[in-house]
Structure 1
Amino acid sequence: MRTKNYWMVLALFLFVFETALAQEKNVSGTVTDQDGLPLPGVSILVVGTSVGTQTDFDGNYSIMASVGNTLRFSYIGQKTVERKVGASAVINVSMEEDAQALEEVVVTALGIKRKPRELSYSVASVDNSALTKTRAVNTVTALAGKVSGMQINTISNGVNPSTRIVLRGNRSLLGNNQALIVIDGFPADRNALDRLNSDDIKEISILKGGNASALYGSDAANGVVIITTKSGTGKASITFTSTAQLDNISFLPELQDEFGVGGFPDGTIRPLENVAWGPRYDGSLVDASEQYEDGRVWKVPYSPIPGNHKSFFQTGSLIRNGFEFSGGNEKSNFLFSIDHSNIEGTVPQDKFNRTNARAKGMYDFGNLQVSSNISFYRSHSNTVGVGGHQARPLYWYLLNTPLHIPINQMKNWRTGEFTRNEVSYYAFYENPWFIIDTQRNKYNNTEMIFISDANYKFTDWLSALVRVGYTKYTYDLKEYHGGLSYSFELPVTYSRIDEFSPSTRDYIYNSSRFNSDFIVTANKDLSDLLNVKANLGHNIRMTDYKVIDITGNNLIIPGFYNVSTRTGELQGSETSQNYRKVGVYGDITLSIGDFLFLNGQGRNDWSSSLSKENRSFFYPGGGISFVPTDAFKGLKGTLQYLKASFSISKTGNDPGPYSNSTTFSAPAGFPFGSTAGLTLSGTDRDPNLKPEFTKSMEAGIEFGIFKDDRLSGSFSVYQTNTTDQIVPIDVSTTSGASRLYTNLGELQNQGVEIDLKGTILKSEDFSWNLGVNYSLMKSEVLSLTEGVDEVVVGGPYSDNIAYGAVIVAQKGQPYPLIKTTDYERDDLGRVIVDEDGDPTPSSNLVVQGKTTPDYIVGLNNTINYKGFTLYAVADYRTGHVFYNNLVDALEFTGLTKHSVTSGRQPFVFPNSVYSDGNDGYIENTNRLTSGGGNAFWSTYNNIKSNYVTDATVLKLREVSLSYAFDNKLANKLGIQDLNVGIYGRNLYMWRPADNVYTDPEFNYNSGNAVGFGTQNQTAPVRQFGMTLTAKF
């Protein structure tokens, strides 16, 4: 009996002992780098489980684990460390730098990860921190000044500005020149990055040349911007970010304030005029309204009101809140985020709000890894539109308000005693407040993107990936155009705008995009010195869109904008388009000793936009990369890293759908009653149309100097030649068309890019990092076709040549150029005047210069002191011009500064000469112009070269000051990380003296005809904000 009890007690003891061993306990410690400094953000995982955590700001961690468990410590750029849990509850870890791991984060074409040393071309990266310092709602604007070879243009200002991204200059004369946007391997549309939540982005990789992007096919002929979104890491956490921002008008055009209204035809005052060609301001009381029958009239001092136009604008605002819930380990991860922005513009009543949501997850089944990513975008905008009896933009009406009229007292145009439509001074153009209240554009944007992929690993060197993506995008626009009517008549009126009826327009754009890739990847060590990486893939891409556009005029119910309430016929159109492309591609890289890399690639596409004979087109590429500091170990010392590379490739760019087919459209005035009609396009299509092809060459050097690459940089030179340009040429109308789209011509781009990054100062508590990037760009139209020396690129008018200013491509010249009307000049460029002293207009348009910069310099500065970070970005662009249509408009209004330089009296035209009668010229010092008032300046207004100005600009784009709280303090508040900051955007802009009017970056649209500013803009703004980020 005693023996039996003994064994029972022993069994119970062993059971309790084993249970005690298996029980979890809290394991804690500190993780440091090889220099003993704490490492924040290190991932710690209990191997074989989903339990994980991360180190805090001071490198501390704590995790629940059992004796016998293994803890895996991993961090980018450090060698992974594993430690077994024993009796001790404290495990401290010192990690060592892993140079190989540092190179594993470069994302290239198709999402393929490569070491930088392997690449034979230039790839630039921008991380989340650089994108979110100043909380730009539009992510594209946050890229400006940060990457060489990348030109970012904000096309217009306002609550939802449009943008343009061009890498290494223009390659196509009339085709698309913007970079392809790829989100997590899915090729999206060109504006997708505008809509993406910057907080969702982990990193952006920029593949600048065709050498880097050929595997994406013809869509990537202009380079690729690859966005990798965040994935969950570490233990589950919640991050909340809140931002508040104020927007103020930066500057308005400088206007003359000496002369007031009047001037037609004798220069006398006409109180109800809008143009300032009258007498000097003298402070006397003048009429500011029509006169009632009883003699009442509104009188105001005839003096300019300081800040009158600027007072029309308001302080804009942004409230933005974001939420993220994420976590993960090596086995699985998840992320859910939502972000909402609410914006009120500087233009009264202009509003914009947007919501972004994303859900992303991954699970590793062992040999099979599956991930999915779904994002949703929704925005609503309510902005003032073009309107009034001349369909003008708001800026026009504002600048046609005389400086002595108190514009904010005109706000009550409906019932005000002297400010209502019937009696106000607005005799020729509508009151800006009327435009704001009645001419509105309201639109809704909705986009959903779904991406899913499955990667199966057959062996340790062979795998296959299937990736499928689909997006649905809807743009729904409603235009409101209120009518103008009068409720009573005055006995005598100076002038009056004719009444017009309200109208409305509905525009609905629906598009979808499908993309699938099947990629087989091999990564095999052939020997100790040889490694081969190969990818073989198949791609299907399909895009569709449909547009319905309907306008109803003469609406019968005031304030009710519905096409059903119109009188007369509806005006409408419907357009649809389908496009398909199939491609196969391959890429192979041979590594020799991990210091010499040989790469070859090729892709063949079949495009539905080309005829069967030309539908298939192939483009190859190849390159070499050599790292002498690894090949010859003795080189390492002060020089830590050196790489030289060269690549060459050919990429295709197919035309848009139906480019080789003649199309029909409904002409104006049809349907007429019950009679429908279609008209044949006046532009014929070449049935043998071929793709544009771009041949690219690139050579580069990358280096790192001193320990930890304290000074690093890259130097690249490139050349691209695009042949078979698709452009229209004039043909005989006897053919049934006036123009023919065909292949002709060649455009060349050459450039130099330099990127430098350095740590100027560094100590335990202080560091100063400086980055400089430089881009030199040169272009030339090498050829067009026989008998054609020039091709019109575009402009904002239906006939830009007749208007007098146009963007062109000209043989033997840089691209693009602007040509305008001009004066006759002598060989020294001096203006030739006639016997009356007036400048003589030229009979032909004259080239004024190119409209893209010769070079761009970007400067990025980061200073850290303990928890404080000061960050700034600036860029400088020069070597180009732009046409300022805004000044053209001000000339008509009589508000330009130069129109008063002579006191509105005759003067000697600057830099002018007159004929000596013997083919020579005499400097003009005494021949005065025939006048200095409205008649002279109206003629001056016809010469558009007067409004071409130097587009050089220096911008302080971003400044931020942030503070990261000590984690011990934050933890007392129940917060893991806490960061607060203040920031400013576009705080300073320097422009040459001849540009006192607007931002030269603005353009009339996002197409190739850049350098053409218009009145369809709002004034530039400065932005000031504060932000808070808390992680729980």
Structure 2
Amino acid sequence: MGMSVSVSRFLAIAGVVFGLAPALAQAQGTTISGQVTGTGGEPVAGASVSIPTLRVGGFTDDAGRYTFVAPASATGTTVTLMARRLGFLPSSAPISIAGSPISQNFSLSPSATQLTGVVVTALGITRERSQLGTAVQQISSSDLNTTHDMNVLNQLSGKVSGVVMNQSGTQGGSTNIVIRGQNSITGSNQPLFIVDGVPISNKNHGSESFGGGLDINADGGLGKDYGSAIDDINPEDVATVTVLKGPNAAALYGSRAANGVILITTKKGSNTTGRVQTQLTSSLTWDKPSILPDYQNEYGQGAGGEFYFLNGKGGGVNDGLDQSFGPRLDGRSTGCTFVPGTHTDPPESPFSPHVYDNTVPCAQFNAPNGAPWIAHPDNVSSFFNTGKTLANTLAFSGGTDKAQARLSVGSQQVDGIIPNNTFRKFNGLLSGSLNVNDRLTASADMQYINNDNHNRAGTGYNSGILEQFVWFGRQVDMNALRSSMGDGSGNLSNWNYNFHNNPFWLQYLNPGEDVRDRVTGNVSARYHIADWLDATARSGTDLYRWQINQDFGQGNLLYANPSYAGAYTQFSEYSNANTSDLLLTANKRAGSHLQFNATFGGSRRFERYNNDQQSTPGITVPGIYNASNAGITPTLTSFVSKRQVNSVYGAVATTLNDWWTVEVTGRNDWSSTLPSANNSYFYPSVNTSIVLSDAVPFLKSGVLSYAKLRGSLAQVGADADPYQLQTVYLGQPTKFGSRPQVTLDNSQKDPNLKPEETKSGEVGLELGFLDGRASLDMSYYAKSTRNQIVNLTVSPASGFQSQVANLGRIDNKGFEALLDVTPIRTAGGFQWNTTFNYSQNKSKVVSLAPGIDTYVIYSDWYQNLEARVGQPYGVIYGYTYLRDGAGNLLLHNGLPQLGDQAVIGSVQPKWVGGWNNDFRFGPAQLSFLFDFHKGGKIFSVTNMWGDYTGIFKNSLVGRQVDWNNPGLVVKGTDDANCGTDPKCAAGTPNVTRVTAEQYWESLYYNAEQYTYDDSFVKLRNLRFGIDLPSVFASKLHASSVNIALIGNNLWTSTKVPNIDPEFSYGTGNAQGFEFATIPNTKSIGLNLRIVP
């Protein structure tokens, strides 16, 4: 009901505003409009059309149309109108501004170069790319949204140099994105997101660990990835995405710029002479798990080659162990129970088969007596559904030369691969602009988003669904679990009653729902003071409410108290951030040789955040999940924080002879989360660019057509989270009699805290070849972050567990390259464009606190993810094999032993890249993108348990033996003669045989064995589309109709066994540890786009 009312209100408001838009035009000035097309007449979306000397312009919509207003002060002048689009050669036309509307169309010729044109930069200011001294990459809507993944961040995978991304398999889950390496040890390393000039939250609740209790605020709360807030953006509403790579390009954002910035500009309305144009985009895809483990199907549940009975809830069926080292799956229908007196439980001699009673029918879980003892090879894959995603966006746009508006309504309906998991999203975006008079232009945007996700599956080791699939007996029939989740007496039915929940019971009788309602918007007004001076005032808001409810049925092994009828947790989060800016922008030429660009302004950002949570592990009456039914007093928590940052900033750029630009920027922030003595901090930067091909004309040739050198220096930083200055008392859920109880916070705060500080330098070279047929953009950068704000572990004798402090330094340096080429372009209309990007980043933890050489970022399964001095950020520190002096395994009784803990490797990739190809011939288009990830390490608990339990095919080694020569001989040195010699010089080669079960169980906790090289290649996107004949399009009153076959994540090549090497546990820093992740999906489907 709440969603339908909110949606109805949004549509009602949008209808009124959209309907009135044409009537609001009462302005002077000169409206300039037209259409930009390719050489074949097809519309070119996302093209920039501008008058550089007046600093006014706009972008084309999906129909290639643009509109903007030139100030009245320009009346009577002749100016140059420029049209540019990445992948096309620029075009220009002289126009005379006389006060009446001007219509000017452009036809752009294809080009590979991305080195010229207008791009959106910091504070939303458009700049000539040739004048930029920093690394900026812009992706247009047509290049971004090729296969219509509804997560806008996923669309960036493999397309932007310097960016490392990891996707989540959870439906509506989060995407981890890092630009040019991690800067902060414990703080956020995610970039700042700006949508239409408004900073928006990318808050994430998700599993950073392999479990999690009832506290959703805790790492890994409920073991679920609840997604991140940036996922709310509808990719169909995006006009451009601009990536400001690191501090140098983002310095004007000050304390939020250290991790880079992603600027998202949404689509706007255009001049359609009062007509309303309608555009429809619709896609339908079918989804399957991309990678599932490779299971063995020769041996069933049990131990030592025998059945293992336990007279528990299962009434004596084979429920004593959940490993699959039992008897061979030989199809027997009798002989599954021992002859009395012929066995011990558990069997003491695994190499001596016991005597079975062949007169008694086999009785396995939920199967009739005499059911054959056989494998069910698809018992895991058959759990997953074929998912389905239906996404539709309907957009209306139009206007006159005085006012323009655009309204889009989008919906996404997902039936996930996990049974009973559904996801629904509604997007509504309304934008409009009005030329109030010849000097004043006003604009506004409002967006409403509703996300509703039912029954997300948990990940990690939390008695959830995915955990079972590394224990699942190979004889278990998944259809039996599906058809019977309980018996007539209310007892749960499962393949093992003692350790696991029925996966279908978890999804159908443990209901969960998370709903996020969000409103973002901004209003702005620009006043044209003079031909060279504008003033802009804008204010924006980002507001959302997030409600997460999770219920647990009676008998849930992890979350519900067995003495009660179930459990629940309820979590509510509210966030509101308001940002206001006032800017003065100047653009002045002094003669024909000098051009000055300047921006001065100030801003105020105020954030309010609060959450409330209640949970109990025990309710009284089944099925009623609220406080009135609590059998155990609920735990209640509440948190409120506020933050305010006031800022002033400025940037001055001077361009000489249109080929040498020098820009100086500065920003000062005052943060409320820092002490008064340290809350004011200044962030300067300087950058320069020299267009060498213009400065030294003889450099140009038939091969080299463009050359630019750039360089920059910057200093930015990050403030602290709220409540880091003073140690406070925390309220407790229980009372002492009638009085409330409080405890001292276990973290000691620092009243002298300083902001984190990042200094960065960068140089770059941009080259164009063959008159636009090829371009190369290269960057080298180095940056250093000091005064890290961390919670440092301290001695319990201090009365605290941790202490907030400034410490440490992390350095990053790297190289990036972006190559664009058009190898083939024929007069017959065939063209091939190819793009390759490459990024390499090397990080190093230079120092921590005095006397401390390591900081544990995350720990689980006796292994750590650490920031260790002298090592890259994020090394896996865990147990290794015990070896002799020659490096051979040192064995005890024939089995490997755990050695010392050591650094096993870094989770950071050696390099990442992407190769994108686009083929066009007449009405047909074919595009595909390969995503490369070389190096880096991951620790896979899935593989560790899959071998330990004997269900992975790898665990068959050593089982196919006869009783006279059982097991396997592990290659290594026998420690029998070692004595006290740690290098075991007197050791002899091992000859002791062990069983496969003994061998694989001995590798438990061995991080060296289960840490893998995370290299992979993915076919990330594939699209084959065709423009339908114009005769058909005209019947729909459209300029073009395109239908396409689309695919995502269709193929993966990796040496990592049994899992997808790409995974994400939220957006935090606990990356590189994998366990029971929901598999990423591969999808294939159809897309329809109708453009007016």
TM-score category, normalised to shorter length? 0.7 to 0.9
The offset of 1:736, in angstroms, is 2.3
2:438 matched to which residue of 1? 366
The offset of 1:281, in angstroms, is 1.8
The offset of 1:893, in angstroms, is 2.8
Change in Cα spacing, 1:128 to 1:826, as seen in structure 2 (3 Å) is farther
Q: Conserved in 2, the CA contact under 8 Å of 1:53 and 1:234?
A: no
Task: Check if 1:333 corresponds to 2:404.
Answer: yes
The offset of 1:252, in angstroms, is 1.1
Deviation per CA, 1:729-782, whole angstroms, max 9, x where unpaired? 343444322322211111100100000001010013100000000001111111
| CA distance in structure 1 between the partners assigned to 2:290 and 2:959 by the alignment | 29
Q: Conserved in 2, the CA contact under 8 Å of 1:231 and 1:334?
A: yes
Task: Check if 1:392 corresponds to 2:483.
Answer: no
The offset of 1:578, in angstroms, is 0.7
The sequence identity of aligned pairs, in percent, is 29
1:184 matched to which residue of 2? 196
- Aligned partner of residue 142 in structure 1, secondary structure: helix
Aligned runs of 1:137-536 on 2, under 5 Å? 137-154=150-167, 156-190=168-202, 191-235=228-272, 236-263=276-303, 271-272=318-319, 273-285=321-333, 297-328=368-399, 331-364=402-435, 365-386=437-458, 391-414=462-485, 421=492, 426-484=497-555, 500-536=564-600
Deviation per CA, 1:80-124, whole angstroms, max 9, x where unpaired? 465999xxxxx9988799999995530000011111111111100
Change in Cα spacing, 1:737 to 1:920, as seen in structure 2 (3 Å) is closer
Range with bigger deviation, 259-268 or 750-759 = 259-268
- Aligned partner of residue 895 in structure 2, secondary structure: coil
1:4 matched to which residue of 2? none
| CA distance in structure 2 between the partners assigned to 1:210 and 1:227 by the alignment | 18
Aligned runs of 1:905-916 on 2, under 5 Å? 905-910=966-971
| CA distance in structure 2 between the partners assigned to 1:1008 and 1:161 by the alignment | 16
| CA distance in structure 1 between the partners assigned to 2:596 and 2:80 by the alignment | 30
Task: Check if 1:831 corresponds to 2:889.
Answer: yes
Change in Cα spacing, 1:761 to 1:41, as seen in structure 2 (3 Å) is closer
Change in Cα spacing, 1:265 to 1:578, as seen in structure 2 (3 Å) is farther
The offset of 1:416, in angstroms, is 5.8
Deviation per CA, 1:22-71, whole angstroms, max 9, x where unpaired? xxxxxxxx9999x98657469999xxxxxx99999999xxxxxxxxxx99
| CA distance in structure 2 between the partners assigned to 1:921 and 1:53 by the alignment | 73
What do you get for the CA RMSD once the two structures are aligned?
Answer: 3.6
Q: Which amino acid aligns with 1:813?
A: Q
Change in Cα spacing, 1:101 to 1:868, as seen in structure 2 (3 Å) is closer
Q: Conserved in 2, the CA contact under 8 Å of 1:857 and 1:875?
A: yes
Q: Conserved in 2, the CA contact under 8 Å of 1:291 and 1:423?
A: no
The offset of 1:916, in angstroms, is 6.9
Query: 2:1058 pairs with 997, 1019, 1027, which one?
Result: 997
- State TM-score, norm by structure 2: 0.82
Q: Which amino acid aligns with 1:937?
A: W
The offset of 1:672, in angstroms, is 6.3
| CA distance in structure 2 between the partners assigned to 1:75 and 1:423 by the alignment | 66
Change in Cα spacing, 1:53 to 1:855, as seen in structure 2 (3 Å) is closer
| CA distance in structure 2 between the partners assigned to 1:548 and 1:517 by the alignment | 32
Query: 1:670 pairs with 734, 744, 750, which one?
Result: 734
Q: Conserved in 1, the CA contact under 8 Å of 2:176 and 2:1066?
A: no
Change in Cα spacing, 1:453 to 1:474, as seen in structure 2 (3 Å) is same
- Aligned partner of residue 110 in structure 1, secondary structure: helix
* Length, aligned pairs only: 957
1:25 matched to which residue of 2? none
- Aligned partner of residue 833 in structure 1, secondary structure: strand
Task: Check if 1:813 corresponds to 2:852.
Answer: no
1:756 matched to which residue of 2? 819
Query: 1:648 pairs with 692, 713, 721, which one?
Result: 713
Query: 2:1082 pairs with 1005, 1017, 1022, which one?
Result: 1022
Q: Which amino acid aligns with 2:322?
A: N
Q: Conserved in 1, the CA contact under 8 Å of 2:36 and 2:44?
A: no
Q: Conserved in 2, the CA contact under 8 Å of 1:386 and 1:439?
A: no
Range with bigger deviation, 812-821 or 413-422 = 413-422
Aligned runs of 1:621-700 on 2, under 5 Å? 621-638=685-702, 639-666=704-731, 670-671=734-735, 674-700=738-764
- Aligned partner of residue 1033 in structure 2, secondary structure: helix
The offset of 1:589, in angstroms, is 0.4
The offset of 1:332, in angstroms, is 2.7
Q: Which amino acid aligns with 1:627?
A: V
1:727 matched to which residue of 2? 790
2:668 matched to which residue of 1? 604
Q: Which has the higher contact order (CA 8 A, sep 6+)?
A: 2
| CA distance in structure 2 between the partners assigned to 1:571 and 1:101 by the alignment | 57
- State TM-score, norm by structure 1: 0.86
The offset of 1:459, in angstroms, is 0.4
The offset of 1:384, in angstroms, is 4.3
Range with bigger deviation, 672-681 or 525-534 = 672-681
Change in Cα spacing, 1:98 to 1:633, as seen in structure 2 (3 Å) is farther
Q: Conserved in 1, the CA contact under 8 Å of 2:968 and 2:996?
A: no
Query: 2:1010 pairs with 940, 947, 950, which one?
Result: 947
Q: Which amino acid aligns with 1:741?
A: V
The offset of 1:895, in angstroms, is 1.6
Change in Cα spacing, 1:670 to 1:823, as seen in structure 2 (3 Å) is farther
Deviation per CA, 1:927-962, whole angstroms, max 9, x where unpaired? 145632544433321323322111111111100001
Change in Cα spacing, 1:926 to 1:753, as seen in structure 2 (3 Å) is same
The offset of 1:439, in angstroms, is 2.0
- Aligned partner of residue 994 in structure 2, secondary structure: coil
Unaligned residue ranges in structure 2 (runs of 5+) = 1-33, 50-57, 66-77, 85-89, 203-227, 310-316, 338-359, 961-965
| CA distance in structure 2 between the partners assigned to 1:832 and 1:568 by the alignment | 52
Q: Conserved in 1, the CA contact under 8 Å of 2:974 and 2:989?
A: no
The offset of 1:387, in angstroms, is 11
| CA distance in structure 2 between the partners assigned to 1:512 and 1:149 by the alignment | 31
- Aligned partner of residue 881 in structure 2, secondary structure: coil
Q: Conserved in 2, the CA contact under 8 Å of 1:609 and 1:656?
A: yes
Query: 1:987 pairs with 1027, 1041, 1050, which one?
Result: 1050
The offset of 1:425, in angstroms, is 5.1
Q: Conserved in 2, the CA contact under 8 Å of 1:57 and 1:967?
A: no
Task: Check if 1:840 corresponds to 2:901.
Answer: no
- Aligned partner of residue 946 in structure 1, secondary structure: coil
Deviation per CA, 1:572-631, whole angstroms, max 9, x where unpaired? 101111111111111110100010011111111111111111111111110111001112
| CA distance in structure 1 between the partners assigned to 2:1014 and 2:232 by the alignment | 28
- Aligned partner of residue 172 in structure 2, secondary structure: coil
| CA distance in structure 2 between the partners assigned to 1:943 and 1:98 by the alignment | 55
Deviation per CA, 1:220-260, whole angstroms, max 9, x where unpaired? 21000001111112423100111111001222111222221
| CA distance in structure 2 between the partners assigned to 1:824 and 1:541 by the alignment | 55
Query: 1:961 pairs with 1006, 1018, 1024, which one?
Result: 1024
The offset of 1:341, in angstroms, is 0.5
The offset of 1:837, in angstroms, is 2.6
- Aligned partner of residue 437 in structure 1, secondary structure: helix
Q: Which amino acid aligns with 1:546?
A: N
Larger Rg: 1
| CA distance in structure 2 between the partners assigned to 1:849 and 1:32 by the alignment | 51
The offset of 1:471, in angstroms, is 1.5
Task: Check if 1:135 corresponds to 2:198.
Answer: no
Deviation per CA, 1:429-452, whole angstroms, max 9, x where unpaired? 222121122223201111100111
Change in Cα spacing, 1:484 to 1:909, as seen in structure 2 (3 Å) is same
Deviation per CA, 1:280-319, whole angstroms, max 9, x where unpaired? 2211126799999xx9954432221121210111110011
| CA distance in structure 2 between the partners assigned to 1:145 and 1:685 by the alignment | 41
